């Protein structure tokens, strides 16, 4: 997949989410993955085309060769946030990857290190913090604010003016009505319908959503 017209970067993480990221990269035509780092996956393992080169101990050679761009493709919010911080301190520049079939509306702001997946929508004036995932067919409507390392899972919909705290996961197919505030480190279960504000560290399930933790 290498081309002189494409920008090389390291993909950190070799799980299923990383394969989705590589698919978006292939479609996008701006970058290519020149190596995949993962301490728990055997060197030579492929995502789609890109291969695992080893773990963290292999990354220094890329910086030595002036390859400093990286995307952290890990679905777990806490681990992704930790790795982003570690890699920045090591000298890597953490990039956002956007699928060409995603829609980012006028005046929306997306910080670095995010993944914006196929068929997802980021509404006008929405603010997306660093390291967030807006997954396949998710909708983050106008004026929403996502703090750092939030994951909006496939098919989840946030109506306008919703605020989501850092490291919170909004599960597959969940829906949040307008103006709701969700705290940090929360889990909104798959298919939940959130109609009331949610405190920090809560788990919400059901329709209407109820806090169980």
Catalytic residue among 99, 142, 151, 157: 142
In sign, the C-alpha dihedral spanning 185, 108, 15, 153 is: positive
Report the distance separating Cα 140 and Cα 184, nearest Å: 17
Tokens coding 151: 């994951």
Q: Residue 189: CA atoms inside 13 Å, Cβ hemisphere, count?
A: 13
From the list 119, 159, 161, 154, the residue with the least C-alpha distance to 133 is 154
> Does residue 71 carry a catalytic annotation?
no
Contact between 190 and 203 under an 8 Å Cβ cutoff? The reply is no
The residues with which 164 forms a beta bridge, in sequence order, are 146, 182
Report the distance separating Cα 44 and Cα 39, nearest Å: 12
Residues recognised as catalytic: 142
């Amino acid at each position: 997949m290498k081309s002189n017209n494409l920008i090389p970067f390291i993909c950190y993480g070799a799980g299923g989410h990383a394969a989705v990221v590589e698919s978006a990269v292939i479609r996008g035509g701006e970058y290519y993955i020149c190596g995949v780092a993962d301490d728990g996956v055997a060197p030579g393992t492929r995502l789609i085309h890109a291969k695992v080169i080893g773990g963290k101990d292999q990354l220094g050679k890329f910086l030595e060769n002036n390859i400093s761009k990286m995307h952290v493709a890990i679905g777990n919010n806490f681990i992704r946030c930790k790795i982003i911080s570690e890699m920045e301190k090591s000298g890597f520049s953490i990039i956002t990857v956007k699928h060409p079939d995603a829609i980012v509306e006028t005046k929306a702001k997306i910080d670095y290190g995010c993944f914006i997946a196929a068929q997802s929508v980021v509404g006008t004036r929405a603010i997306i913090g660093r390291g967030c995932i807006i997954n396949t067919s998710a909708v983050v409507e106008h004026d929403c604010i996502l703090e750092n390392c939030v994951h909006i899972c496939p098919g989840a919909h946030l109506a306008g003016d919703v605020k989501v705290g850092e490291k919170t996961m909004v599960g597959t197919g969940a829906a949040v009505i307008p103006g709701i505030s969700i705290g940090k480190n929360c889990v909104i279960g798959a298919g939940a319908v959130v109609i009331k504000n949610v405190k920090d560290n809560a788990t919400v399930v059901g329709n209407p959503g109820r806090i169980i933790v």
